[in-house]
Amino acid sequence: MRLYFKYMSILFKSQMQYRTSFLLLCAGQFFVPFAVFAAMYFLFERFGGLPGWTFHEAALCFGVIQMAFALAECFVRGFDAFSNLIVRGGFDRLLVRPRGTVIQVLGSNFEFTRFGRMLQSAVVLGIAVNGLSIAWTPAKIITLLLMIIGGVVVFSGIYILAATFCFWTVQGLEVANIFTDGGREMAQYPLDIYAKWVTRFFTFIIPFGAVSYLPLLYILGRADGPDLLCMAMPLASLLFLAPCLAVWRIGVRHYRSTGS
């Protein structure tokens, strides 16, 4: 764990060398999702609302998912950018070190410019919380945090799966974008507005639903099931992560028997 922080600090120092570029990219990372948020706002303005959801409720959902995405993009960047690493022979370098591959890949890259997106998500969450009249209890706050963490876990799992594909096809899979960018675009709206099969897929297979839907209902005070279940739902994301890591190990084994 300490090693992870050491990796982080060396890469932070690295990226800070290019200050202007960093700040500009950060700004970009703020405005791009902000444009999407603006779109949401304009659409709500024109249509008056979504079936069963007000603007501020949807904004809460939006903020949570965007924050989870930003955190994942920042801290799990090593897997997201894995195709770069492997193409430049960097993975061999990792294999020659006496540490596990996962921790080293995680430590190989951080994208601190995603702070811009994190800031944007924080702003959105602020707007949402401000516009909603929720009785905030410690339990609800914990749930909110768990939602974000759960989201990070889900995105991380997808990144790991996508990175594993790099072992087979040199360029990795753009398909992963469907689930990361696509997943984000989709999950940022409350899940029940979508067709049944979408909701089901994104609850049971890639569990965004567990992370953003049920706990959201709980926070808004509209949950059906037992409170504790709704609160703990985000932990289901760990069930998704485990098989992703297993697939990663298979990928590493394949790389080591076929070379780069």
Partner 1 sequence: MSLITLTGIGKSFKVAKRSAGFREAVKALFVREHTIVEALKDISFTVREGEIVGYIGPNGAGKSTTIKIMSGVLVPDQGACSIMGFTPWKDRVRYVRHIGVVFGQRSQLWWDVPVIDSFELLRDIYAIPPDIYRKNLDMLTEMLNLADILRTPVRQLSLGQRMRCEIAASLLHDPAILFLDEPTIGLDAESKIAVRNFIRTINRERGVTVILTTHDMHDIEALAGRILMIGKGTLLYDGSLSELRSRYGTQKTIKVDYKVSASPINVPGVQCLSWSSGRAVYTFDSDRIDITELINRLSAGGELADVEIGSRPVDDLILQLYKEHRV
Partner 2 sequence: MNAPLSLLKMRFLMGLQYRAAAAAGILTQLFFGLILIMVYVAFYTHNGEAQPMTLKEVVAYVWLQQMFFTLIVLWQFDGELFELITGGNIAYELCRPWRLYPIWYAKLLAARLASVSLRCLPVALVVFILPEPYRMPLPASPAASLLFILTLLSGLLLVAAISMLVYISVFWTMSPVGSVLMIAVAGEFFAGMIVPVPLMPDWMQTFAGLLPFRWTVDFPFRVYTGHIGVREALAGIGIQMIWLAALAAAGEWLMGRALKRVVVQGG
Which residues of this chain interact with partner 2, rule CB under 8 A? 20-21, 24-25, 27-28, 31-32, 35-36, 38-39, 42-43, 45-51, 169, 171, 173-175, 177-178, 181-182, 185-186, 189, 193-195, 198
Question: If you ran DSSP here, which 8-state letter would residue 193 be given?
Answer: G
| Binding segment toward partner 1, per CB under 8 A, in 3-11, 43-51, 79-87, 189-197 | 3-11
The interface partner of residue 204, options being partner 1, partner 2, none and the CB cut-off 5 to 8 Å by kind, is none
98 binds partner 1 (CB under 8 A): yes
Q: How far apart, in whole angstroms, are the C-alpha atoms of residue 235 and residue 62?
A: 20
Which of left, alpha, beta for 10 (phi over 0: left; psi -120 to 50: alpha)? alpha
Q: Which is nearer to partner 2, 32 or 141 (by Cβ)?
A: 32
90 binds partner 1 (CB under 8 A): yes
27, 42, 93, 204: residue in contact with partner 1 (rule CB under 8 A) = 93
Which of left, alpha, beta for 72 (phi over 0: left; psi -120 to 50: alpha)? alpha
φ, ψ (nearest 5 deg) of residue 53? -140, 135
Question: Do 59 and 130 touch, CB atoms closer than 8 A?
Answer: no
> 100-119 mask for partner 1 (x: CB under 8 A)?
x-------------------
Please give the size of the binding site for partner 1, defined by CB under 8 A: 26
Q: Which is nearer to partner 2, 48 or 221 (by Cβ)?
A: 48
The interface partner of residue 169, options being partner 2, partner 1, none and the CB cut-off 5 to 8 Å by kind, is partner 2
The interface partner of residue 229, options being partner 1, partner 2, none and the CB cut-off 5 to 8 Å by kind, is none
Q: How far apart, in whole angstroms, are the C-alpha atoms of residue 224 and residue 227?
A: 8
- Binders of partner 1 among residues 239 to 258 (CB under 8 A) are 256-258
Which neighbouring-strand residues pair with 50?
A: 53
53, 71, 97, 247: residue in contact with partner 1 (rule CB under 8 A) = 97
The interface partner of residue 239, options being partner 1, partner 2, none and the CB cut-off 5 to 8 Å by kind, is none
| Binding segment toward partner 1, per CB under 8 A, in 37-45, 89-97, 116-124, 208-216 | 89-97
Number of neighbours of residue 56 by Cβ within 10 angstroms: 17
The interface partner of residue 11, options being partner 1, partner 2, none and the CB cut-off 5 to 8 Å by kind, is partner 1
- DSSP letter string over 27-95? HHHHHHHHHHHHHHHHHHHHH--BTTB-HHHHHHHHHHHHHHHHHHHHHTHHHHTHHHHHHTTHHHHHH
Q: How far apart, in whole angstroms, are the C-alpha atoms of residue 120 and residue 29?
A: 8
Question: Do 33 and 117 touch, CB atoms closer than 8 A?
Answer: yes
Number of neighbours of residue 154 by Cβ within 10 angstroms: 33
Q: Which is nearer to partner 2, 47 or 224 (by Cβ)?
A: 47
Using CB under 8 A, list all residues that contact partner 1: 2-3, 6-7, 10-11, 13-15, 17-18, 88-90, 92-93, 95-100, 256-259
